[in-house]
Structure 1
């Protein structure tokens, strides 16, 4: 697997994203009944915000996942926990698998996203806030070093706030016996 990242083009990528966010497995993304135009509108707002940014993740040049990074201090999380300098928020949605599920694929995607985020200057901790009912992502988060920090009330959900420092991420990677190889991930765009 060779993952690359490019800036999301809200208008051009919306038809593809629409096929992902309206799948039943993406129910926690909150866009099940969205139209393509609503996807364009949402991602245009994100890209123009200055504090929230979406990237399309590619596997061998093929779109494979969507990741968002945001500043918690400029998000609804600002009133829900004590934001620390160096905090960066993350969202992740993996595309529906073509040809059936691939064991370990989502973990590999999340690993590549975390590797990218921790390479950014000033990032000390990655913060996630998935819906409390999304038990699959909670297990994956913990596997990659996230520590639950408690349930928080957000405008659109009750979320399990979890945080991961660079040290916790690297320790989780070592425990998985899959050392980080910085040469396997390339970065395009932001």
Structure 2
């Protein structure tokens, strides 16, 4: 079961190391999380990789472009207040150094527990990429720059479905924001809303987008509420007591 987001900045919607991942307990962010956080700047050669041609380069028949999640690679961008935002399925040979660097940020490592050599992150990514496509790791690319990591997953096919009344095609979100410069900018809630909208726009059989932040993480829960999710229940997961957050298709234009 994926971990959930770490602390979320009430202003941005996502705070240092914000996340939802596979089965790690969520705890309150350390008081010195910002001081310990690595400020990673992407070199021009990395950002240049995310050209328009590359954004469409994931093979449609790969798990990350497959039917269980309605071909995420083909979803295209969503408009946000910070610029166009797109989910780009991870390619290990291209993205591993960047994602591994994010995982070694102390503010992120405290929650995702994937700090260490690149192979640690690679094994986490391969478990999804070599699977049947029920969980797709993605880079969040904002205005052409990769700045966050997302896992879009079939909650109804995930172990989390044992802990709440899952419905067919329920889709879950896990995330982290990479660089310090992209935190605290007031865009977190907007990205959560945009990603939920991408799911609902491109997955016609999906009636709900879900998330399970740690119940103690009040700023995180507030960010999901701001993104149109409702506080549906409290659930006991193996590693935490979580707030079950749901964004319903039928209410998406009201919240």
TM-score over 0.5 (shorter chain) = yes
For 2:248 and 2:110, the matched residues in 1 are separated by 25
Superposed counterparts of 1:116-155, under 5 Å: 116-119=198-201, 120-155=203-238
- What 5-or-longer segments of structure 2 have no aligned partner? 1-82
For 2:195 and 2:156, the matched residues in 1 are separated by 21
- TM-superposed CA distance for 1:33, in Å, is 3.2
TM-score, normalised relative to structure 1: 0.79
TM-score, normalised relative to structure 2: 0.61
Does 1:111 find its partner at 2:180?
no
For 2:110 and 2:170, the matched residues in 1 are separated by 23
Aligned partner of 1:92 in structure 2 is: 175
Does 1:166 find its partner at 2:166?
no
Question: CA contact under 8 A between 1:28 and 1:134: conserved in structure 2?
Answer: no
Does 1:82 find its partner at 2:170?
no
Aligned partner of 2:87 in structure 1 is: 5
- TM-superposed CA distance for 1:41, in Å, is 0.3
Aligned partner of 1:64 in structure 2 is: 147
SS in 2 for 1:145: coil
- TM-superposed CA distance for 1:26, in Å, is 2.5
- What 5-or-longer segments of structure 1 have no aligned partner? 173-190
For 2:235 and 2:130, the matched residues in 1 are separated by 26
Question: CA contact under 8 A between 1:92 and 1:110: conserved in structure 2?
Answer: no
Q: Cα 1:22–1:134, aligned 2, differ >3 Å: closer, same or farther?
A: farther
1:102-156 alpha-carbon deviations (Å, 9 max, x no partner): 1x21122112211211112211100101222322211000111212222223233
For 2:110 and 2:223, the matched residues in 1 are separated by 15
Which residue, 114, 127, 131 being the options, matches 1:45?
127
For 1:117 and 1:28, the matched residues in 2 are separated by 28
SS in 1 for 2:223: helix
Q: Cα 1:47–1:127, aligned 2, differ >3 Å: closer, same or farther?
A: same
SS in 1 for 2:244: strand
Which structure would you say has the larger RCO, counting Cα contacts within 8 Å and 6 or more residues apart?
A: 2
Question: CA contact under 8 A between 1:11 and 1:40: conserved in structure 2?
Answer: no
The size of the alignment, in residue pairs, is 171
